Homo-oligomer: A and B are copies of this chain.
């Protein structure tokens, strides 16, 4: 499956969220990651983020896709991450 992850963590926890997200996905911009991931790794990723997050202050949104056939990705301006898996 393909995942786009966007997080909004308080500053004191953001380094942890970055480290975890990078283990599983490609960093593309600011607090945005994407990539192909197995179901089991997706479960692991969510568990690891849940462990470090404060669920009353922090937020993570996952967009998951069975197929990327129906989606497109377009960039304006700087391409910040080095993306291996582009939609």
Could you pull out 22 A-B pairs where Cβ atoms are within 8 angstroms?
A4-B4, A4-B63, A6-B30, A6-B32, A8-B29, A30-B31, A30-B59, A32-B32, A46-B74, A57-B78, A59-B76, A59-B77, A59-B78, A59-B79, A60-B76, A61-B73, A62-B73, A63-B72, A63-B73, A64-B74, A65-B71, A66-B71
Give how many copies assemble into the complex. Answer: 2
> Which interface class (under 10, 10 to 19, 20 to 34, 35 or more) fits A?
35 or more
Task: For the complex, give the distance between the alpha carbons of A25 and B50 in Å.
Answer: 28
What string of 1s and 0s marks CB contacts (under 8 Å) between A37-55 and chain B? 0000000001001100111
Q: What is the bound-complex CA distance between A73 and B6, given in angstroms?
A: 11
Q: Are B77 and A58 in contact (CB under 8 A)?
A: yes
